[in-house]
């Protein structure tokens, strides 16, 4: 494990952009397991999968969503813990979570060979998600791994600069973000704005961000297909080629670099904040 | 003037990226006036100039800076008010301001035919600026003009997502940002990270941002030369071509578009914030 004075070693961080189909729970999970295995073969030890992986995303009704949801320790966690154990991986994945009070949450799990390390419930819900899910109200936990400190975020959360800031201030080296970015598939060299947000969030905090999008049309919805791993300078270390469809990207990352917040001999992305001026104003 | 129910008309917004030389106060001001006149000829009615325009940036000492500073209503304001009056312009410009208590501020002025409309003092100081300037501690004022609501920010302020958020929440349609981005001049199609920050800040708030960088080496320092006008979708409406040097860009902007914060029938960049969760956390 990382200890003070011992920077964590370099690690392969993968984003596994898979094609999913709402309701095809077994097929979705099988495709994810295959992609995680490919990532492991290619040297990844941290693998990020899309949002709402096993259920799919475009629910016809809240009732359909309920039928596709699972507890945090359900089939998704079981299948991915098994593959994490086999390859000694850390895996981040989105799950339609049914919690004890009966509500559904758009959640993400971080798991490793020991099972679930943390559950995060998406705080910023997009569009019709609010018909199905109750938003979370807690900051993601920062989990220490042999390669660095990892935290979760989900999709639309990345558009809220305050949220990524808080996650970084809490000590994350890498933000693992399962996403489903609805939109037209990437067809030009112009980066999707979703990736631009990730770049700015990474650079503004000098953290790594691994955002895993999905692919495959679903009930008329298409996806940006913009999965990327971005470094603390805001530059993509790996990004999905135009129109790549299903695709596993692996980037070599020294996550400990995220602990150097300095941008000059006298400046730092966090040290130069003026929180006394932001107080109050940001809470309106 | 814009009134409720009367969206402001389209306006040409210019960024005038000029070459400056520290200490050449008359030359710097003359070049700026010429660039503003060019912008006006090309249809601009709002013109943004670089940070610390008349003084230059790379001071050898605080003493040198003091000698080059001026009161807010000094020669910079006088010369630019004159040209603003002639062409009916709004002009944003950076000035090394000497205030009544004797301190120096890295300030920006917004002025029009009536003179100075507002003074803003840079809150986030970069590197050796702290040897010369006292940081400001107030949010920029939002100024109503015939074309929309304008506010100022200066250079490194744009890296602080909280600050741009606050300016947008205060009602700005366009953030006018005099900048001096030290760095290598742009030589590839990859956008400077400074511009990526501007893109994300614009899109995260659905505001326009006009950032005016400078050019011309100064005491060994070069500049990114990345001036750009970015729209509320985060896409550059005008950006400096590779290695363009001195350059005036004009973008047609309907600044009232910044008042539509919706991103779907049910989502908005400000409405979807969760300020109750950010409270306290962001002030640490």
pLDDT tens sequence across A130-172: 999 999 999 999 999 999 999 999 999 999 989 999 999 999 9
Q: Is A214 in the B-facing interface, judged by CB distances under 8 Å?
A: no
- With CA atoms as reference, report the closest residue to B69 among B97, B93, B91, B88: B97
Chain-centroid distance, C-alpha A241 = 19
Query: Does any CB of chain A come closer than 8 Å to the CB of residue B131?
Result: no
Alpha-carbon gap, residue B42 to B14, rounded angstroms = 9
Chain segment A169-189, per-residue pLDDT in tens:
999 999 999 999 998 776 667
Distance, in Å, from the CA atom of B39 to the CA atom of A111, rounded to the nearest integer, reads: 57
Average pLDDT, chain B: 94
Q: How far apart are CA B221 and CA A116, in angstroms?
A: 51
Question: So what's the pLDDT on residue A12?
Answer: 98
pLDDT of residue A7: 66
Residue B151: is its pLDDT beyond 50? Answer: yes
Q: How many CB atoms lie within 10 A of CB A187?
A: 9
Are the beta carbons of A137 and B161 separated by less than 8 Å?
Answer: no
Using an 8 Å Cβ cutoff, are A95 and A54 in contact? Answer: yes
- Residue pLDDT, tens place only, B207-225: 999 999 999 899 999 999 9
What pLDDT, on the 0 to 100 scale, is given for residue A189?
A: 74
Query: For residues B216-239, b (16+ Cβ closer than 10 Å) or e, as one string?
Result: bebeeeebbbbbbbbbbebebbbb
Nearest to B38, CA basis, from B279, B216, B248, B226? B248
Q: Helices (H), strands (E): how many in chain A? A: 7, 14
Q: How far apart are CA A183 and CA A178, in angstroms?
A: 16
CB contact under 8 A, A201 and B200: yes
Closest residue by Cα to residue B88 from B11, B188, B163, B32? B11
What pLDDT sits at residue B244?
84
According to the model, what pLDDT value does residue B283 have? 60
- Smallest Cα distance from A270 to chain B, Å: 9
Q: β-strands A90-98, A228-230: how paired?
A: unpaired
Helices in B129-281 by DSSP H: which ranges? 129-132, 161-169, 193-205, 275-278
- Averaged pLDDT for residues A196-200: 97
Task: Return the pLDDT at A2.
Answer: 41
| Distance of alpha carbon B284 from alpha carbon B278, whole angstroms | 11
| ipTM of the complex model | 0.95
CA distance B284 to chain A (A): 7
Query: In chain A, which residues have their Cβ closer than 8 Å to the Cβ of B127?
Result: 264-267
Give the total residue count for chain B.
284
The chain B residue lying nearest A138, using CA atoms, is B277
Query: In this complex, how many residue pairs, one in chain A and one in chain B, have their CB atoms less than 8 Å apart?
Result: 136
Q: Which residues of A touch B206 (CB under 8 A)?
A: none
Based on its alpha-carbon atoms, the radius of gyration of chain A, rounded to whole angstroms, reads 18
Q: From chain A, pick out residues whose CB is under 8 angstroms from the CB of B166.
A: 278, 281-282
Position A1 scores a pLDDT of 39
Helix (H) or strand (E) holding B262: strand B262-264
Pick the range with the lowest mean pLDDT from A165-179, B83-97, B103-117, B178-192.
B178-192
- Range 262-281 of B in CB contact (< 8 A) with A: 264-267, 269, 272-279, 281
Assess whether pLDDT exceeds 90 at residue B282. no
Residue of B175 and A279 predicted with greater confidence: B175
pLDDT for residue B8: 79
Residue numbers in B near A135 (CB within 8 A):
274
- Could you tell me what percentage of chain B is helix, strand and coil, using 3-state DSSP and rounding each to the nearest 5? 30, 30, 45
pLDDT over 80 at B280, yes or no: no
Residue partners of A141: CB distance under 8 A and separation at least 6:
A118, A120, A151
C-alpha A171/C-alpha A184 separation (Å) is 34
Phi, psi of A52 (to 5 degrees): 45, 55
Mean pLDDT of the region B153-170: 96
* Nearest one of B212, B211, B203 to B257, comparing CA atoms: B203
Of 3.30.565.10, 3.60.110.10, 3.20.20.140, 2.60.40.10, the CATH number of B11-283 is: 3.60.110.10
| Between B189 and B254, residue with greater pLDDT | B254
How sure is the predictor about A60, in pLDDT bands with cuts at 50, 70 and 90?
very high
Other CB atoms within a 10 A radius of the CB of residue B142 amount to: 19
Residue A280 CB burial class (10 angstroms; 0-12, 13-18, ≥19): exposed
pLDDT band at A216 (very low <50, low <70, confident <90, very high): confident
Question: Among residues 153-172 of chain B, which lie with CB inside 8 Å of chain A?
Answer: 156, 159-163, 165-166, 169
For chain A, the residue count is 284
Mean pLDDT of the region B91-118: 98
Any idea which residue has 């939109």 for tokens? A183
pLDDT of residue A187: 64
Least CB–CB distance from B166: residue in A196, A276, A278 = A278
Distances (CA, A) of B201 to A150, A166, A250, B124, B178: 25, 17, 28, 16, 16
Q: Is the pLDDT of residue A76 over 70?
A: yes
Type and span of the H or E element at B176: strand B174-178
Spatial contact of A54 and A97, defined as CB atoms under 8 Å apart? no
Digit-coded pLDDT (tens) for A229-280: 999 999 999 998 877 889 999 999 999 999 999 999 999 999 999 998 987 6
Cα distances from A36 to residues A231, A251, B57, B220, in angstroms, run 21, 14, 51, 49
Q: What is the pLDDT confidence band of residue B2, given thresholds at 50, 70 and 90?
A: very low
Q: Do A234 and B196 touch (CB under 8 A)?
A: yes
> Which of A54-58, A158-162, B112-116, B228-232 comes out lowest in average pLDDT?
A158-162
Sorting pLDDT into bands at 50, 70 and 90, what band is B74?
very high
- Name, in order, each residue with C-beta under 8 angstroms of B39's C-beta and a sequence gap of 6 or more: B12, B14, B16, B47, B89, B248, B250
- Cα angle for residues B167, B201, B104 (degrees, 5° grid): 55
Order of strands, sheet of B90-98, starting from the edge strand that comes earlier in the sequence: B115-121, B104-112, B90-98, B44-48, B11-17, B247-253
Nearest to B71 by CA among B116, B113, B35, B28: B116
- Whether the per-residue pLDDT at A208 is higher than 90: the answer is yes
**The pLDDT value given to residue B187:** 65
CB of A93 closer than 8 Å to CB of A35: no
The mean of the pLDDT values for chain A is 94
Q: Is A121 on the interface with B (CB under 8 A)?
A: no
* Pairing relationship of beta strands B11-17 and B247-253 according to DSSP bridges: antiparallel
Taken in order A13, A16, A17, A23, the sign of the CA dihedral is negative
Query: A23 — phi, psi (to 5°)?
Result: 90, -20
Q: How confident is the model at residue A119 (pLDDT cuts 50, 70, 90)?
A: very high
Asked if pLDDT for residue B46 goes beyond 90, the answer is yes
């Amino acid at each position: 494990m990382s200890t003070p004075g011992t920077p964590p070693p370099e690690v392969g961080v993968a984003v596994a952009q898979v094609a999913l189909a709402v309701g095809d729970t077994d097929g979705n999970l099988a495709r994810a397991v295959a992609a995680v295995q490919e990532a492991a073969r290619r040297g990844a030890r941290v693998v990020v999968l899309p949002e709402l992986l096993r259920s799919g995303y475009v629910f016809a009704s809240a009732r359909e969503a309920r039928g596709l949801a699972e507890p945090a320790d359900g089939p998704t966690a079981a299948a991915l813990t098994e593959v994490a154990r086999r390859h000694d991986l850390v895996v981040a994945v989105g799950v339609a979570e049914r919690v004890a009070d009966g509500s559904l949450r758009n959640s993400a799990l971080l798991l490793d060979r020991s099972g679930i390390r943390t559950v995060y419930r998406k705080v910023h819900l997009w569009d019709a998600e609010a018909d199905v899910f109750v938003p979370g109200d807690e900051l993601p936990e920062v989990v220490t791994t042999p390669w660095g400190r990892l935290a979760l975020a989900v999709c639309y959360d990345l558009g809220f600069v305050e949220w990524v800031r808080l996650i970084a201030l809490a000590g994350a080296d890498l933000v693992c973000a399962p996403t489903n970015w609805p939109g037209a598939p990437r067809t030009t060299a112009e980066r999707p704005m979703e990736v631009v947000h990730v770049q700015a969030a990474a650079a503004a905090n000098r953290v790594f961000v691994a955002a895993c999008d999905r692919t495959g049309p679903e009930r008329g919805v298409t996806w940006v297909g913009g999965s990327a791993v971005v470094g603390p300078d805001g530059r993509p270390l790996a990004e999905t080629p135009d129109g790549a469809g299903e695709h596993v990207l692996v980037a070599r990352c020294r996550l400990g670099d995220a602990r150097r917040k300095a941008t000059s001999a006298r400046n730092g992305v966090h040290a130069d904040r003026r929180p006394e001026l932001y107080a109050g104003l940001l809470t309106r």
